[in-house]
Chains A and B, each alone.
Chain A
């Protein structure tokens, strides 16, 4: 029992630290990438290549004056950013970062918790994430904040549906399991799920963009209409937490996409490579290579998120809603139908 607690605590601590670290350096990479796309340098003063920029930003956020609006509900105002970041980190517990390591005849999974209803847990956590935004926007007692919060939550609820249905199709192809680690492990042999679910992946990707409130779906913080959206009244580190949580969300959803559709820690010819290197199952080197593979895919997805942000202009609100309800939802239903028919004729579904 004690051993189990220590092992889980270590995994928790590592994943927590990595999430925060990646979120911090995502801000740096976002600005560097924007600089690249817009033919300028990006951050370059703090440290070599501006690598200390996240620390400088964090310091600035910490030491700024904190203003709590006098008329707002103070408790809820303070609670909202904390709630938002907690739900953002919570989704990270599901991600299996690598093949299990074998120490003393016991396998240790590189995952905080292997919930057997993992996918529904993921959907639940993302839907709980709305509360941070809504409470924050309402407690600010500012019309712009409220409008931003309502936009954000309407958007998240709308896109969750298409996302859920795309995931049902994925579950059917992945062999009828709701556990994240089993879905990743099932892509061990044969192709990654992207080959069977190309349309599903595109739907999921668009929904993930919308769920994380990233451009081109960042209507919740549309400066031209809403000043700063739901975090207009926030300052200092509370604002920092809101912005930070967005990057954590992006990191987690990138990891989820890499795991669900691109094989996670598996990669082509992995078994041949391990055999050529003479590695046994459960060796820590395999886990390390698998982790590297998963992490590379995740970082690529984060970069794609940024690439899209600096390429596509923001949608109008009615366009956003039309896309969600009139295009993505029917498309995801169609995808589900096709998946079921194909799987039926492959003999994987018996009635």
Chain B
């Protein structure tokens, strides 16, 4: 098909969808719709992981981001009952300024990406690294210390969240 393999076609379609949904997150007025589009974006990113042969990462991405974090987002937005009317209207001036700043950022990014075609990416590891068995072996042998540090970081975040959530500290 037009000289592309199925994987390339899939990559194109999924990339298009993920960028489209990501834009819809920003452009929709209703916050609930934004959250739902963000969930769809996460699904597209999970599909990208699948294309990279990283099943574990893909499923965990769905379970954690789409399944847990976004549900909590939805929770909060539903409870606050935001809708189109309560959204603050920006003035023309601030829209103009935001447009210019965003455009400048785009120019900088394009400039920074201009020289990247000379960059040679060396493939690190092997293509089966995404399989859970290989991933676990690497994580718990070569990268055990960073892994433990990350777990302590998460634990401290957890404790902090509970402390903030408490009504009064005795």
Are the C-beta atoms of B32 and A138 separated by less than 8 Å?
Answer: yes
The reply on A153 being an interface residue by CB < 8 A is yes
Q: Are A150 and B75 in contact (CB under 8 A)?
A: yes
B67 touches A128 (CB 8 A): yes
B93, CB-defined interface residue at 8 Å? no
Contact A131 B71 (CB under 8 A): yes
Q: Which of B17-25, B52-60, B103-111 is near enough to bind chain A? A: B52-60
Q: Assess whether B36 is in contact with A150, with CB atoms less than 8 Å apart.
A: no
B68 and A178 form a contact (CB under 8 A): no
| Chain B residue contacts of A134, Cβ below 8 A | 71, 74-75, 78
Contact count band on B? 20 to 34
The binding surface of chain B is classed by DSSP as helix
> Is B44 in the interface zone, CB < 8 Å from A?
no
A255 contacts B by Cβ under 8 Å: no
Q: Kindly provide the distance from the CB of B75 to the nearest chain A CB, expressed in whole angstroms.
A: 7
B45, CB-defined interface residue at 8 Å: no
B166 CB, nearest partner CB in chain A, Å: 15
A221 to chain B, nearest CB (A): 18
Contact residues in A for B66 (Cβ distance below 8 Å): 124, 127-128
Contacts of A178 in B (CB 8 A): 132
Q: Are A138 and B78 in contact (CB-based, < 8 A)?
A: yes
Docked-complex contact A116 and B74, CB < 8 angstroms:
no
B55, B67, B68, B78: the one within 8 Å of A117 (CB) = B55
Contact of B55 among A73, A115, A127, A135 (CB under 8 A): A115
Contact of A320 with B by CB under 8 A: no
Q: Which of A119-140 contact B (CB under 8 A)?
A: 120-121, 123-124, 126-128, 130-131, 134-135, 138
* Bound form: Cα–Cα A280–B132 in Å: 34
Q: Which of B36, B63, B72, B78 contacts A120 (CB 8 A)?
A: B63
Compute how far the CA of A117 lies from the CA of B54 in the bound complex, rounded to whole angstroms: 10
- Top 4 nearest A-B pairs (CB, nearest first) are A127-B67, A124-B63, A120-B59, A124-B62
Q: Using a CB–CB distance below 8 Å, which chain A residues touch chain B?
A: 73, 76, 115-117, 120-121, 123-124, 126-128, 130-131, 134-135, 138, 146, 149-150, 153-154, 157, 160, 178
Given contacts A115-B55, A127-B66, A134-B74, 7 further A-B contacts (CB under 8 A): A76-B32, A76-B36, A120-B60, A126-B67, A127-B71, A128-B67, A157-B71
Taking Cβ atoms with an 8 Å cutoff, the residues of B that contact A are: 30, 32, 36, 39, 55-56, 59-60, 62-63, 66-68, 71-72, 74-75, 78-79, 131-132
